[in-house]
Chain A
Amino acid sequence: MKTMLTVISNALCRITGKNVGARVAVTRNFADFTPQVTFDIKKCDLHRLEAGPPVKAELTREQGLQYYRTMQMVRRVELKADQLYKQKIIRGFCHLYDGQEACAAGIEAAISPSDHLITAYRAHGYTYTRGVSIRQILAELTGRKGGVAKGKGGSMHMYAPHFYGGNGIVGAQVPLGAGIALACQYRGNNQVCVTLYGDGAANQGQLFETFNMAALWKLPCVFICENNKYGMGTAVERAAASTDYYKRGDFIPGLRVDGMDVLSVREATRFAADHCRAGKGPIVMELQTYRYHGHSMSDPGVSYRTREEIQEVRSKSDPISLLRERMLSNNMASAEEFKEMDVEIRKEVDDAAQFATSDPEPPLEDLCNHVFSNNPPLDVRGTHPWSKLKSVS
């Protein structure tokens, strides 16, 4: 049995022509599927590090299906948001994450819910991985009372326990993340804060102030740059004197990771979090990734890059396809299973969208609430002196 499975596995690898080698670990012989496989993953580029994350990643069938589900859910939610935006049911700013799913899924796989995470405005994926239901995400996008922020925040301002948004001002979330890490250190709770920013934000001065203090004080902060090659309409080469974002923490060690491979992201994040938990101070991780959509829904995304480039990434490096092919070629799951999951996920997203479009808008009574926390009720001036509104915490 073992020999036969090995033979089949090797044959499949040859047939599919995948570079990624695999050793089949057979522990049970009544299962139809391979329960666990060890995959080779890309070696990370290192900065001020003697050693990096492992170059092999173990994946169980359950984990694989879970990562797949997470990434596919994020993908479908983003595509639904695109649709709803074009129907003008979502308004304002909407920055979509499709293409970058392996980052959110891989990071979450490496940390625990008691760790902390903060990101910028391309945040829907992280809102989901940090535990908010897709109903509450979509209803926030459509501005309804069932939204995670009761409709008052919108796309860029969604929060959850140990998830600090969702931040609209480029780069401002980075000092915030270091502050959260300071609180972890202060409390001695062995938690870390994952602080995300983009290639555009990498040129914000407040990052460098933050790097200095985080290093000086050895804050348990994992700084992660999601480099998707474009800051709005500006390619990285036109914005940065150095595009080695993993080195830009200077005195802070760094690693550059394939952000399209969920296993690489997971291993690297685990390595980075361990580094922080060991009291070694902060670390910078650059995830090389890609966004299929433009910067936001107001940006077609093709004036500064070619459709060919987008198509090439889709066909050769799509994170969801990569995981699925790996699992299929190692007999970890069947094509039918994936199809079934896709159908299930689509239905879940459709149901959530249904909720998000039928839930009522927040009541006017909520307009002035939540100005202050833990405060007696106060009067708020409306649009004219005869309009006296009420605000409760």
Chain B
Amino acid sequence: QASIRLRMKSVTVRDALNQAMDEELERDERVFLMGEEVAQYDGAYKVSRGLWKKYGDKRIIDTPISEMGFAGIAVGAAMAGLRPICEFMTFNFSMQAIDQVINSAAKTYYMSAGLQPVPIVFRGPNGASAGVAAQHSQCFAAWYAHCPGLKVVSPWNSEDAKGLLKSAIRDDNPVVFLENELMYGVPFEMSEDSQSKDFTIPIGKAKIERQGNHVTLVSHSRFVGHCLDAAAVLAKEGIECEVINLRTIRPMDVESIETSVMKTNHLVTVEGGWPQFGVGAEICARVMEGSAFNFLDAPVTRVTGVDIPMPYAKILEDHSLPQVKDIIFSVKKTLNV
């Protein structure tokens, strides 16, 4: 036990992403990174630090501020057999390019009846940061996960980040990889296995971060941490939460959710995005349509961002997103305690 612990390493999410890209760039010379400030600036959020120095202009490409243009260029390169990683400085700017993501990337393999794959990864920070206001705080999980042909991944911790990004790059399909700016600097212990160059996490499989019998909490990205914090508080009151880290939004691992709900009989979803037509709404629908519905002792509760554009003032921003106390409150209401 002790020797295993010694081989654990504390790695930030940023460094885990960096390692994933570094390893995949090394492994497959068709892989390249393209985006604003990714090369000489080391990345707007330093996620691609050191890569340009190591791999040069051909593999790490700085683009002008032309999202629609360079996203299209990246998709074209993927069609011609390369394996681009297209970075959006934040996913808010992907709206400039969303036609290329959906119409040129997501639908093409289908439209060509299998003739034309598009092995591309679109990655960047998604969702709210701190004080960046309405135009820079939107969560795009629901928008992208709505579309067939796309895979949508949303890692939480460093292992997720590394393993899922490697899988995304190796996947022959377009993958939207939703990172979180506030998580970049957070360190997590990474197992020895996860430090290997062959370490991947399968896309489409959720992870049980914490076992429990009384209620299932399902979340993705940063709010997995909030769920674990809420679970720790609730445990002191004798309420044991099972916390599921979705890891992938599309295809969603509904089976893991259902298995858990059949055990706990209660479900609370937690996300940063807006409620209407969101990830939690989809989970509710899927649970209702499936075998777990009859095991529910109460309706599913969704904990979400407030249904407004993101305000700037700190007090308003704090009240626009789920806080740990909101999760605790929702669990108790769902359990009727």
Contacts and interface: CB of A to CB of B under 8 A. Distances in A.
Interface of A: 91-93, 140, 143-145, 147, 149, 151-157, 167-171, 200-201, 203-206, 231-234, 238-240, 303-304, 361-362, 364, 366-368, 371, 380-387, 389, 391
Given A152-B312, A201-B65, 5 more contacts: A149-B312, A151-B312, A380-B307, A383-B322, A384-B333
Contacts of A171: 65
A383 B323 contact: yes
Contact of A91 (B308, B311, B314): B314
B92 A367 contact: no
B313 interface: yes
A383 B303 contact: yes
B306 interface: yes
A201 B320 CA distance: 31
Contacts of A93: 131-133, 136
A383 B326 contact: yes
A126 to B, nearest CB: 18
B135 interface: yes
**Interface size of B as a range:** 35 or more
Contacts of A380: 306-308
Interface in B41-74: 41, 44, 62, 64-66, 68-69
Contacts of B313: 143-145, 147, 151-152, 154, 361-362
Contacts of B315: 143, 361-362, 364
Nearest to A241: B64
Contact of B133 (A153, A203, A233): A153
A368 B306 contact: yes
Contacts of A200: 64-65
Contacts of B316: 143, 151-152, 361-362, 364, 366-367
7 contacts: A92-B129, A154-B132, A231-B65, A234-B40, A304-B41, A367-B316, A367-B319
Given A168-B133, A234-B62, A143 B314 contact: yes
B311 to A, nearest CB: 4
Contact of A234 (B37, B96, B307, B322): B37
Contacts of A151: 311-313, 316
B130 interface: yes
A145 B316 CA distance: 11
Main secondary structure of the interface of A (DSSP, over half): loop
Given A151-B311, A153-B133, A383 B64 contact: no
Main secondary structure of the interface of B (DSSP, over half): loop
A137 to B, nearest CB: 13
Contacts of A386: 329-330, 333
Nearest to B70: A203
Contact of B303 (A145, A371, A384): A384
B308 A232 contact: no
Interface string B4-33: 000000000000000000000000000000
B93 interface: yes
Contacts of A367: 306, 308, 311, 316, 319-320
B302 interface: yes
B169 to A, nearest CB: 25
A40 to B, nearest CB: 37
Interface of B: 36-37, 40-41, 44, 62, 64-66, 68-69, 92-93, 95-96, 129-136, 275, 301-309, 311-316, 319-323, 326, 329-330, 333
Given A143-B312, A151-B312, A152-B316, A157 B306 contact: no
Given A366-B316, A367-B320, A91 B131 contact: yes
B136 A204 contact: no
Contact of B304 (A145, A239, A381): A381
A288 B239 CA distance: 64
Contacts of B131: 91-93, 143, 154
Contacts of A382: 306
Contacts of A201: 65
A381 B41 contact: no
Contacts of B68: 205
Contact of B69 (A147, A149, A205, A364): A205
Contact of B302 (A91, A155, A385): A385
B64 to A, nearest CB: 4
A364 B275 CA distance: 20
Nearest to B304: A383
A65 to B, nearest CB: 35
Given A233-B40, A304-B40, A154 B312 contact: yes
Contacts of B37: 232-234
A151 B318 CA distance: 13
B303 A205 contact: no
Given A151-B316, A203-B64, A384 B40 contact: no
A367 B333 CA distance: 24
A169 B40 contact: no
Given A240-B64, A367-B319, A92 B69 contact: no
Contacts of A167: 135
Contact of A92 (B275, B302, B306, B312): B312
Given A168-B133, A233-B37, A362-B313, A239 B307 contact: no
B218 to A, nearest CB: 14
Most buried by B among A201, A203, A233, A380: A233
A391 B308 CA distance: 10
Contact of B132 (A92, A143, A233, A304): A92
A233 B301 contact: no
Given A367-B320, A384-B303, A168 B136 contact: yes
A234 to B, nearest CB: 6
A113 to B, nearest CB: 27
